[in-house]
A and B are shown apart, each in its own frame.
Chain A
């Protein structure tokens, strides 16, 4: 979707570990990300007939919109919920009524909400083939006996594991990860409205084969 006469798609936001940083995003980079997301999701087996639930906040739309359109381009149907505790009811309703192939973006706050509702993680996510869980949620789902994929917003980049427990990978034409101590840093490799050069993120972990294996989660 491109707007008449506007170079910027929007102003999103990412977490650098110390604060929430505004992030100007161009239409062009969104277009590139949509294509990459389609390919990545197809490699995960998502296509015609698949249903995908995205759990995100509006300030994360710059991260999630390409995934949503990528899913649509791959032929999948999508649903949306906020990624906070109050939306646990909606997420539980969705997975009760619809057979989802994948749920991406599960947060610790969402799991807190499920705890308050008194439903188990297995009841909500047990039938979902791919559960993409963010740091902090991932460990809790593993402890509950599920096999989630790492799903990481590393600054402005979205990284997703191709198998349970595997490193979360982003588009290597767009992003390069490294670490400063155990803080994951991100560098942008192609022209963007906002350039990133070893920008610190809120994610701690190590880089394995170019992808991120989060080691801990920092409470915001």
Chain B
């Protein structure tokens, strides 16, 4: 890997490519990928055939937006179940050529398989650009607090010349995290979450450690999976932590905040991203709320084309103060997580701060329990810390009051130990909606 000069704010020249050139590049990459995906990925071919479209008809980005059919996770699961194809019709190379078969997080249901061919080349250094932008440099230590189901992500950090310090994504690891942060002085942490923030606070209290010292070397702390609630965010700010939000972009690429903290950049030389009306196909205006739809520009093993992510986001292509020209997004929630109570739309994000404001529920673990999207009663399953075991009536009253204050709705509340909800996770996030 060729590294830029250490004082360069950017890892690669593509980050500041003029938008006109960026869109030319996207068209070039799309026109190369679409015939390949149609030819080799059965679920894509099925969708295009059903829509009566062929790759030859797509010559411009407008053609693409107007004519190419969408696919979604249900389409992949349906293809998998109907055809007995474990890859849901997405694997575009002979299965014998795969090096790995991993899986999605499974937050919204059964995880789906992700076919991979390592060493295939041509993959832009997505995460590398983002960590370089935070100030991470070769020779640094980087704390990785992750799961394994996405495969060996640590290789990206070793490729940058950094030394990963490896932790499980588990609250019980946070005492060790504090100890090793003070020993190795890492410059970045990937990846944090509300549950871990509270676990760090507990570990520091138990062992008499100053959390400001723990984080003194960190230039960036990345959180992902779920929003960081106000209580956890306030703790992190108290410790002097510079937080960077991170999210997946429709299982196609990734997005990270830059040092401007004004939206999450996704790299448009890796994906063609659209933001459309959640129940339609019309693009929403720049900055308006819509569903994220993503198309890979480089993945020839599992080429997702016009993949409806179910994620509700805002996207802008206005210039960013950091100088990068690539678009930014703001995650809002999942389309499938919306519940309509007495005609009022409620998303988990509308409940987060209210639940987290209760001391017993500081980890912000809760689920909306529903039997259908529209319901008369808001039913919540809310996690509590074990220390509150004897005072659950009080806790339930507090939750009801806080949620009513936030939404105007008085919920039915079922309290369960935090540990029970944590076990539902992949583990950096839990399903926020559960079937009744």
Contacts and interface: CB of A to CB of B under 8 A. Distances in A.
B96 A98 contact: no
Interface of A: 1-6, 8-13, 20, 22, 48-49, 51, 54, 56-59, 61-62, 64-65, 68, 72, 77-82, 84-87, 89-90, 93-94, 97-98, 113
Contacts of A48: 96
A110 B383 CA distance: 23
A68 B113 CA distance: 18
Nearest to A78: B100
Interface in B119-162: 138-139, 141, 144-152, 154-155, 158-162
Interface string B235-263: 00000000000000000000000000000
Contacts of B147: 58, 82
B103 A11 contact: no
B148 to A, nearest CB: 5
Given A5-B139, A10-B154, A58-B144, A49 B166 contact: no
18 contacts: A3-B161, A3-B163, A4-B3, A9-B163, A20-B176, A58-B146, A58-B169, A59-B166, A59-B173, A61-B148, A65-B152, A65-B154, A68-B152, A77-B98, A79-B100, A80-B150, A93-B106, A113-B423
Given A51-B101, A86-B423, 14 more contacts: A2-B158, A10-B158, A10-B164, A11-B141, A57-B168, A58-B144, A61-B166, A79-B101, A80-B148, A80-B152, A89-B106, A93-B106, A97-B113, A98-B101
Interface of B: 1, 3, 80, 86, 96, 98-103, 106, 110-111, 113, 118, 138-139, 141, 144-152, 154-155, 158-170, 173, 176, 180, 183-184, 422-427
B161 A98 contact: no
**From A3, A84, A94, A113, residue with most partner B Cβ within 10 Å:** A3
A89 B104 CA distance: 12
Contacts of B152: 61, 65, 68, 80
B168 A90 contact: no
B154 A61 contact: yes
A3 B111 contact: no
Contacts of B3: 4
B158 A98 contact: no
Contacts of B111: 89-90, 93
Contacts of A11: 141, 163-166, 180, 184
B166 A90 contact: no
A89 B101 CA distance: 16
Nearest to B113: A97
Contacts, number: 140
B99 A1 contact: no
Contacts of A51: 101
Contacts of B168: 57-59, 82
A90 B169 contact: no
Nearest to B160: A3
Given A3-B158, A98-B86, A77 B138 contact: no
Nearest to B110: A93
Contacts of A64: 148
**From B139, B158, B169, B424, residue with most partner A Cβ within 10 Å:** B158
Nearest to B140: A6
A90 B159 CA distance: 29
A78 B117 CA distance: 11
Nearest to B184: A11
B148 A3 contact: no
B301 to A, nearest CB: 12
Contacts of A84: 170, 427
A155 to B, nearest CB: 16
B106 to A, nearest CB: 6
A206 to B, nearest CB: 30
A87 B180 CA distance: 27
Nearest to B424: A86
